[in-house]
Amino acid sequence: MTLKGLFLLMILLGGFWASHRIYDNVYVENIAAENYNGITFMNANGKRESPSYFQMARWILTRKVGPWPEKQIEEIPMIPAKKIGENHARVTWIGQGTFLIQLEGKNILTDPHWGEHASVMSWIGPKRMRAPGVDFSDLPKIDYILLSHNHYGHFDQKTLEKLIDAYDPQIVTFYGNDTLIKSFRPKARLTAIGWWGKIDAMTEASQLKFIGCPARHWSGRGLLDHDKTLWGGFMIQSPQYRIFFAGNTGYNSGRHFRQVREKLGIPNIALLPIGGAEPRWLWRHVNMSPVEAVQAHQDLQADLSLATSYDTFSDLGDEAYGQAPADLSIAMAKENVPPHQFLALKPGDHVELPGHSAFTEDTPPPKVGTEKIKTPFEAWHQGKVKPRV
Q: Look at residue 367 in the predicted model and tell me its pLDDT.
A: 31
13 pLDDT more than 60: no
How far apart are the C-alpha atoms of 216 and 153, rounded to whole Å?
17
Q: Which has the higher per-residue pLDDT, 114 or 361?
A: 114
Q: Which domains does the chain have, with CATH numbers?
A: 3-40+52-381 (3.60.15.10)
Q: Which residues contact 150 (CB under 8 A, 6 or more apart)?
A: 176, 177, 180, 219, 220, 221, 229, 231
How far apart are the C-alpha atoms of 201 and 246, rounded to whole Å?
20
204 pLDDT more than 70: no
Q: Which has the higher per-residue pLDDT, 384 or 209?
A: 209
Torsion angle of alpha carbons 319, 321, 322, 327, nearest 10°?
0
Please report the sign of the dihedral spanned by the C-alpha atoms of residue 5, residue 11, residue 16, residue 17.
positive
* Alpha carbon of residue 290 to chain centroid: 15
Look at strands 89-95 and 98-103 and give their pairing. Answer: antiparallel
Query: Taking Cα atoms as reference points, which of 139, 132, 166, 146 lies closest to residue 82?
Result: 139
389 pLDDT more than 70: no
How far apart are the C-alpha atoms of 117 and 267, rounded to whole Å?
32
How far apart are the C-alpha atoms of 199 and 211, rounded to whole Å?
6
214 pLDDT more than 90: yes
Percent helix / strand / coil, the chain, rounded to 5: 25, 20, 55
Return the CA Rg of the chain. Answer: 19
Sheet architecture: strand order including 98-103:
189-193, 170-174, 144-146, 106-110, 98-103, 89-95, 350-353
> What percent of the chain stands above pLDDT 70?
83
Q: Look at residue 374 in the predicted model and tell me its pLDDT.
A: 36
Q: Look at residue 60 in the predicted model and tell me its pLDDT.
A: 87
Q: Transcribe 210-222 into DSSP letters.
A: EEEE--S----SS
b or e along 132-167 (b: 16 or more beta carbons within 10 Å of the residue's beta carbon)? bbbeeeebbebbbbbbbbbbbbbbbbebbeebbeeb
The arithmetic mean of pLDDT across residues 201-216, rounded, is 85
pLDDT band at 24 (very low <50, low <70, confident <90, very high): very low
The C-alpha angle 10, 14, 20, rounded to 5 degrees, equals 150
> What percent of the chain stands above pLDDT 90?
70
Q: Look at residue 224 in the predicted model and tell me its pLDDT.
A: 82
The arithmetic mean of pLDDT across residues 96-111, rounded, is 96
Torsion angle of alpha carbons 155, 161, 164, 166, nearest 10°?
-130
329 pLDDT more than 60: yes
Q: Which has the higher per-residue pLDDT, 206 or 80?
A: 80
386 pLDDT more than 60: no
370 pLDDT more than 50: no
The arithmetic mean of pLDDT across residues 232-238, rounded, is 97
- Mean pLDDT over the full length of the chain: 86
Q: Look at residue 362 in the predicted model and tell me its pLDDT.
A: 41
The arithmetic mean of pLDDT across residues 324-331, rounded, is 97
Q: Look at residue 121 in the predicted model and tell me its pLDDT.
A: 77
